[in-house]
Structure 1
Amino acid sequence: MAFLLNTVRYILRGGPPETGLPDRVRAEIRAREASSEQLIGWVQLGLVLFFATLYAIAPRAEGTAGFNFVPFALAAYFLFTVTRLLLSYRFELPQWYLLISIGVDMALLVGLIFSFHIQYGQHPTFYLKTPTLMYVFIFIGLRALRFDPRFVLTTGLVAVAGWLGLVFYAVLADMDHMRVTRNYVDYLTGNTILIGAELDKTMVILSVTVILSVALYRGRSMLFEASRDQAAAMDLRRFFAPEVAASITGADTELQAGEGSQREAAILYADIRAFTSTSAALSPETVLAVLAEYQNMAVEVINDEGGRVDKFLGDGILATFGAVHASGTYAADALRTAQRLVNCTEAEQGRFKAAGWPGHLEIGVAVAAGPVTVGVIGSKHRLEFTVIGDAVNRAAKLEDANKVQQSRALTDRVTYDLACAQGLGNPLVEARPGAQVAGIDTPVDLIVLAGKTPLPPVPPSSPAAAHPSGKS
């Protein structure tokens, strides 16, 4: 009994409560409901035009003797439907207006059914046998498009009240000649009332209404959950590369730590010089504003060259090329990106100063290529999608080596030769063989991609130049 009462209570308030939902999710639900009302308006307009056309071309029923209300009812309903549709595009229709709309729908149908005994000069019991009553299910079904059980329930209850009103009027209209019968043949062939038949119609309308209301309650629960999940999925796409987010949200099974695959890829690491010491004298708002300007610029360059940001490490950026999706030019793309990042940072100094950076913002970038493992790490309660491998560690150590080497962008000879084989056309700046790099035991043949002086502009890669294989 308690479950039934809770279900009825939920239905009456439109399904699960929206408390606990973020404002943007509630706004998304309201937007969908507003779109549903527009759809309902278009369907109603289509129906009234269809019935008007059908009425105009169909042969007239014989036996009419009184005033024909049908064309006037259709015209009035057409005007009401057009007005309602136009208003739905101007603003979100309030609930009181929707309830009035339901009342108009049912008043039209009940009034039309009531007019039949006048039009054909018959006792009111005549209209109880009209098939026009079946249209009530169209109006009930229309309200289901909104995914709000309250409106379906209201429509069904108003329909039941209207129909019972017609039945009582027919019973009480001519008390001198009782029209109630228990003979089914008399009911079908004459102007009599079979109470059981009218109760059957009432119960069918009620049953359809309740079933649809319960179904919509469950559907509305799913709508809330789906809207919340969709918002979370959209947020996920902002925290991860689109391909990574798609692999997470589209996974057939729940992701577990330890799942991954090995790829040949290039890792790019970029870091702002003297960021910690400089930002210590700035307000948090200024620090975040400068970071936002720099990171927006950097991400645009990285994405433009086919890379994907793996993570932001404070003022550092770890990006991958060929790790998320296979590429035949991953090393060339990464080296081209490193040089473009240095050039773009120089070109955007005014942008950083406007955000509040007090001096010259300088970055260090390094690239290393090799086999990496792409996958999920962490515990069962906290997972992270990332890349691990020697190339990741080497990129970080090479970036630190920029300070010792007095350079702004470095790579090693193996990565550089690989990039040249993949179509890198940028000229060699400087080679420094046998250099000692902190954290790496053996000497490293370094390639300076950007020294202390600005590089000439590096154009964005073109499909022909940067991707000779035609793949990205």
Structure 2
Amino acid sequence: MQTKTEILLREKEIQGITYSLYGKIFIAVISTIISFFIANSLFEILSTVIVNIILTISLYLLLRILRKNKFVMPIGILCVLIDVALITILPFIYYNSVGGDMVPRTYLVKTYTHTTIYGILLLNAFTIQPLYPLLYALGVVISQCSILLYAMADPRFQSTESFKEALLGNAAHVNSYILGMAIVGILGFFLAYLTFLVRKTVFNAVSNEVKSNQLSRYFSPNVVTEIEKADDSFFTSGGKEQNVAVLFCDIEGFTQLSEELGPEKTMATLSDYHSRMLDVVFGNGGSLDKFIGDGMLVTFGTPVESPLDAENAIRAGIAMRKSLNEWNLVRKEAKLKPIKVRIGIHYGPAYVGNVGIATRLEYTVIGDTVNAASRIESLGKEVNRSFLISRELLSRVANPDTLLVKFVSLGNFALRGKTKMTEIVAVEAV
């Protein structure tokens, strides 16, 4: 079974092969157009057009198969074989266009296929699979050297050591031709190694992407971002004091509900509930600190505080209730009991950072503000309100009217464990 890293790397390889195939189709089209202007005969034009049409259709069919995410490696190798076959055919098309057996086979090695050879070699490197440029270079060297041996078997074959005579005359510069093939081989090896390095880099990038996705299953997006860019000092015990908005959310009557549903259905219900709530929390810039059974501890302003933390916390609470109402309509149609929650939010200083030991750290918030938010949420049961906030939180909102809800002061309360009175405000629909 493939790992997620391998699956993502395979997708990158498919993307590379796709680019390579499109590039080869482009070369086929361009060479077809050019053949009308530089071809030596009608035979060369027709041969070039037919070969390129067959090539284009073949590459298009391979693209269709590749999009189904099947036979990736076989398609890549087949593309290499097609490339080598094409490079082998082209010299013979040119040779036959100037007379075929009527002229010396010298003309088999006096073609302009080298430009095409190098272009296709570069396209094979786009696949981020080092095997392809290496196989292609090896195939080209074998193919072109075989053509050279075939040409030299002709008694009429002419060779010269003069570059000028080879360029302007009927002779071929064999050493130059062999040197060209050596360059193809060396370049193929170099590109294969370069592709290997690129593939390794892509693999590391994909691995980091997978790790980031895995982290997001345990941490909220804000914390994941902080972890990704943090240095070693982030992964030590310690933190700092800063102002945060702390939101507690709890399901009413969860103990009774879990008894009625049983363990399996309870876990399924919680999973659905948490998924819906977290979408809202993350959408409003919040961070999940932890799940506490059916409850959630959410913070706004971690790891970096913002002037909008208090407002975002209230918006999240409003959106959570809206999402819950929508979910309850779905549950009603399925003849399931509605889910009711209590929300409590407070704002103030808290200690934000890692607690624990080097081998087991937890990024969290600690302090009186956290305790107060928990007490405010619990107070909802006593005053029969489902959404309570502190005056400290509301005072941080620049324009409460924009939230489109009604804020009703319930007076001052002595929260359990606190000596200072706290003004509690109920959040109600307009």
User: Shared fold by TM > 0.5?
Assistant: yes
Short-chain TM bin: 0.7 to 0.9
Cα separation, 2, equivalents of 1:213 and 1:365:
59
Q: 1:210 and 2:185 equivalent?
A: no
Q: 1:387 and 2:387 equivalent?
A: no
Any residues of structure 2 matched to 1:205-244 within 5 Å, and which? 205-244=184-223
Cα pair 2:29 2:52 within 8 Å, conserved: no
Cα separation, 1, equivalents of 2:404 and 2:355:
37
Any residues of structure 2 matched to 1:232-271 within 5 Å, and which? 232-251=211-230, 255-258=234-237, 262-271=241-250
* C-alpha displacement of 1:35: 2.4
Cα separation, 2, equivalents of 1:219 and 1:336:
45
* C-alpha displacement of 1:430: 4.9
Moved more, 145-154 or 238-247: 238-247
The equivalent residue for 1:398 is 376
Cα separation, 2, equivalents of 1:444 and 1:41:
72
Q: CA RMSD in A?
A: 3.6
* C-alpha displacement of 1:286: 0.8
Q: 2:290 aligns with which of 311, 314, 319?
A: 311
Q: 1:287 and 2:266 equivalent?
A: yes
Cα separation, 2, equivalents of 1:425 and 1:139:
63
Is the partner of 1:111 in helix, strand or coil? helix
The equivalent residue for 2:53 is 78
* C-alpha displacement of 1:150: 1.6
Compared CA separation, residues 115 and 420, structure 1 to 2 (3 A) = closer
Q: 1:46 aligns with which of 7, 26, 32?
A: 26
* C-alpha displacement of 1:353: 6.3
Question: For structure 2, which runs of at least 5 residues remain unmatched after alignment?
Answer: none
Cα pair 2:159 2:173 within 8 Å, conserved: yes
Any residues of structure 2 matched to 1:104-183 within 5 Å, and which? 104-121=82-99, 122-174=103-155, 179=158
Cα pair 1:412 1:444 within 8 Å, conserved: no
* C-alpha displacement of 1:375: 3.9
Cα pair 1:260 1:375 within 8 Å, conserved: yes
Compared CA separation, residues 52 and 254, structure 1 to 2 (3 A) = farther
Is the partner of 1:255 in helix, strand or coil? helix
* C-alpha displacement of 1:159: 0.6
Cα separation, 2, equivalents of 1:193 and 1:444:
100
Cα separation, 1, equivalents of 2:42 and 2:322:
84
Cα pair 1:73 1:108 within 8 Å, conserved: no
Q: 1:30 and 2:10 equivalent?
A: yes
Cα separation, 2, equivalents of 1:305 and 1:144:
44
Give the residue type in structure 1 aligned to 2:147. Answer: L
* C-alpha displacement of 1:164: 1.2
Cα pair 1:331 1:422 within 8 Å, conserved: no
* C-alpha displacement of 1:145: 1.0
Give the residue type in structure 2 aligned to 1:35. Answer: Q
* C-alpha displacement of 1:68: 3.7
Cα pair 2:237 2:361 within 8 Å, conserved: no
* C-alpha displacement of 1:411: 3.4
Compared CA separation, residues 179 and 57, structure 1 to 2 (3 A) = closer
Cα separation, 2, equivalents of 1:342 and 1:185:
85
Calculate percent identity across the aligned residue pairs.
Answer: 24
Cα separation, 2, equivalents of 1:349 and 1:141:
58
Cα separation, 2, equivalents of 1:348 and 1:185:
83
Moved more, 268-277 or 89-98: 89-98
Higher helix proportion (structure 1 or 2): 2
Cα pair 1:261 1:373 within 8 Å, conserved: yes
Cα pair 1:289 1:355 within 8 Å, conserved: no
Compared CA separation, residues 112 and 430, structure 1 to 2 (3 A) = closer
Cα separation, 2, equivalents of 1:430 and 1:344:
25
Is the partner of 1:69 in helix, strand or coil? helix
The equivalent residue for 1:7 is none
Q: 1:364 and 2:345 equivalent?
A: no
Moved more, 45-54 or 87-96: 87-96
Compared CA separation, residues 74 and 105, structure 1 to 2 (3 A) = farther
Q: 2:63 aligns with which of 88, 91, 102?
A: 88
